Amino acid sequence: MRKRVVGLSFLLTISLVPVYSASPPKAGSICSRQGITQTYQGKKYTCIKFGTRLVWNNGAIIAKSIPTSSPSPAQTPSPTPTSSISPTPSPNTSASSSAAPLPTASPTVPILATEDAQSKYVKVLAPLVSDVTDLNPSNATLEFDSEVSLMARKQIISRLTGILKETPNIEWIVDPASDAKEVEQYKKEVTYAVQFYSFVLSPKTPLRVYVGSSANFQWLYDLLSKDLASEGLEGNWLDAKLARSKEEPGFHGGAGGLRAKDGTSVMFFNYGARSSFYETLQTQISFHEYTHVAQKAYLSGNMSPMLCWMREGYANYIGYNLATRYSTAAYLNSWYQQFQYADVMPELNGWRTKSVKDWIQWFVDSEKKTPYQCDDYDNYAIGSITWEYIHGTYGYVAVDKFFRGLANSYLGVCKEKIDSSNVICPGWKKLYLQVFGVTPEADYENFALHVYRKIIWMNKQNNLAGDKASVLSPPAWTITSKY
């Protein structure tokens, strides 16, 4: 029987494309040479270039030949491949150590930009909120997929005017060989994140932040090994990070919510070869990781009451909003950047063509995910769209109330926050009804419809990647603003 999780102190990480076992081929996993192919379980996989990385594509189904009447020898079943994924981590590691199987795509026709979806689109001009910097150099009309999405963006940027610009209590430990521009970005963005969440956690709370390159991850490894409390190192996650850095020295990552031996909250960031400072997929990491620090503060140090899409989706949603806080045009473009690698993520297989019914089932199935399964990117991306709906429909105050109630939501429903199978107590459902006035089951259809329409909207946008996005706005951390 698996070990019961009582107190969870997760390592929370983000990376561009998750790494899986190299053999057999899996969509999104690293391959060695562009153009090579492998056949596995009825599919032909091709090694393609995505950004600066070589990964296996989703694979093409191999057409079966029509059998003849000639007798054939009995087939010997292929042996089930053994996984080289590490064993289940201990409670203080990040999510699941096993890769989820490829989901079966629903037999739906490709989604087009239907009139029904387009009828919900809202066109506006910047600024959305007076007195808040909202760069849009071309003065072009901005198109939102719905009134809910527009209201959600307003909810976030309206909060910027109330941020306390108190100097945070941050101890920076930086590899002397680090790139100065990378360090500047982390320092400015983490500082802003601490100030943004001052209503949850006082900026005076000590925070220790390590910054180093992936190419010299050994430097980070040595210091973190000495600084972190022993329970925070369980599961060998840091060793796995070190191994990955040797295999892939260009990856960007980080972690928040760690605890040092002296009780200080710890974060770290490792950077690789950056394609562009206009890629919000990378620049939002500072906010994503500090959101996990805030979540731990909300939940008194125990993250277990949150479903995976709640935890990672919220961090992504806030991350992309704050990384583009001074430009709604850049924010709208960031949805494309958030999903640009989705086509090679096995957990998002078929995402462009899923129906509303498919997405409803996704939310139902998410209730059964354990905290060890939160690393799958669908939790980040689909969860982010879901939190946009919740913010735009119920408002930021209600969201804050929901998070504040999660810590004790299991009381009167379950004996513990998580059961012996590591399934999260459904006590959060009662809280959801109390705060938002509707059961989560009733809202699943609303979530699913919002996801469905968001995807249709994304599919029709003229999206800008890399430095091409510079026409929209400079990176937020380079902009001087009173907010």
Structure confidence by residue, pLDDT tens digits, 292-337: 999 999 998 888 899 999 999 999 999 999 999 999 999 999 999 8
User: Does some domain include residue 256?
Assistant: yes
| Average pLDDT for 13-28 | 46
User: Does some domain include residue 390?
Assistant: yes
CA neighbor of 10 nearest in space, from 242, 318, 234: 234
Whether 70 shows a pLDDT value over 80: the answer reads no
| Average pLDDT for 110-114 | 35
Whether 50 shows a pLDDT value over 70: the answer reads no
How far is it, in rounded angstroms, from Cα 390 to Cα 396? 9
Residues 6 or more apart in contact with residue 67 via CB below 8 angstroms: none
Q: Which two tokens stand for residue 235?
A: 């599961």
Q: What is the pLDDT of residue 53?
A: 62
| Full domain range(s) for residue 143 | 120-478
Sign of the Cα pseudo-torsion (268, 465, 468, 35, in order) = positive
User: Does some domain include residue 106?
Assistant: no
Reduce the DSSP state of residue 44 to 3 states and report it: strand
C-beta of residue 38 within 8 angstroms of C-beta of residue 73: no
User: Does some domain include residue 359?
Assistant: yes
Q: What is the DSSP letter of 19?
A: -
On average, the pLDDT of the chain sits at 81
CA neighbor of 95 nearest in space, from 292, 321, 360, 267: 292
Whether 52 shows a pLDDT value over 70: the answer reads no
State which amino acid sits at residue 221. Y
User: Does some domain include residue 111?
Assistant: no
User: Does some domain include residue 57?
Assistant: no
| Average pLDDT for 171-199 | 96
If one counts the domains in the chain, the total is: 1
User: Does some domain include residue 112?
Assistant: no
Sign of the Cα pseudo-torsion (141, 145, 147, 150, in order) = negative
In Å, the largest CA–CA distance within the chain is 81
Per-residue exposure over 396-411, b if at least 16 CB sit within 10 Å of its own CB, e if not: eeebeebbebbbebbe
User: Does some domain include residue 108?
Assistant: no
Q: What is the DSSP letter of 284?
A: T
Lowest mean pLDDT among 1-15, 133-147, 425-439, 464-478: 1-15
Q: What is the pLDDT of residue 436?
A: 96
How far is it, in rounded angstroms, from Cα 188 to Cα 410? 38
How far is it, in rounded angstroms, from Cα 199 to Cα 390? 20
- Tell me which of 274 and 305 has the higher pLDDT: 305
Whether 18 shows a pLDDT value over 70: the answer reads no
Q: Which two tokens stand for residue 56?
A: 């296996």
CA neighbor of 286 nearest in space, from 330, 254, 238, 333: 254
Reduce the DSSP state of residue 172 to 3 states and report it: strand
Q: What is the pLDDT of residue 282?
A: 83
Whether 81 shows a pLDDT value over 50: the answer reads no
C-beta of residue 231 within 8 angstroms of C-beta of residue 92: yes
C-beta of residue 255 within 8 angstroms of C-beta of residue 237: no
Whether 276 shows a pLDDT value over 50: the answer reads yes
* Each residue's pLDDT tens digit, 406-420: 999 999 999 999 888
* Each residue's pLDDT tens digit, 379-436: 999 999 999 999 999 999 999 999 999 999 999 999 999 888 888 999 999 999 999 9
C-beta of residue 299 within 8 angstroms of C-beta of residue 407: yes
